Amino acid sequence: MGRSKWAAIKLDGDIDIARVHELTEVLAREWLPTQNLLIDLCAVGFMDSAGIRWLFATQDQIAHAGREVRLIIAQGGPVERLLSIAGVDQHFTIYRNLDKALEKIATRSLGNWLGRLRI
């Protein structure tokens, strides 16, 4: 794979059925098939099953391009328990904060920062 580029997206607010379409549109517009994706969920206050399905659909799409998705989930945060119960932690590489994630992928380049989506 060599030096991969990374795109990162920091989400906040709620990730529910009302917002999943918006997230899908943003990724379709901004994510490049040559990039891995880092999704920061630390500022997400609520996520429902539609949000979990969105994570897996995003992972499938990016894996189809030969790339990977990694998550940042705050320890003890409101989303951590839900994602653990749903088994998300068994399917994604998870970091506890952006600094740790960047440290782990430092051998690769962080290509683009998609910015903060307020959802």
Domain harbouring 114, CATH code: 3.30.750.24
- The structure's pTM equals 0.85
What pLDDT, on the 0 to 100 scale, is given for residue 33?
Answer: 93
Of the chain, the percentage scoring pLDDT greater than 70 comes to 85
* Alpha helix (H) residue ranges in 15-48: 17-30
Q: What's the domain range around 13?
A: 5-118
Distance separating alpha carbons of residues 15 and 17, to the nearest angstrom = 7
11, 41 Cβ separation under 8 angstroms: yes
Q: How confident is the model at residue 4 (pLDDT cuts 50, 70, 90)?
A: low
Q: Is 85 left (phi over 0), alpha (psi -120 to 50) or beta?
A: alpha
Pairing of strands 5-15, 35-47: parallel
Number of domains in the chain: 1
Q: How confident is the model at residue 63 (pLDDT cuts 50, 70, 90)?
A: very high
What pLDDT, on the 0 to 100 scale, is given for residue 43?
Answer: 94
Average pLDDT of span 97-118: 65
> With 50 as the cut, is the pLDDT of residue 47 above it?
yes
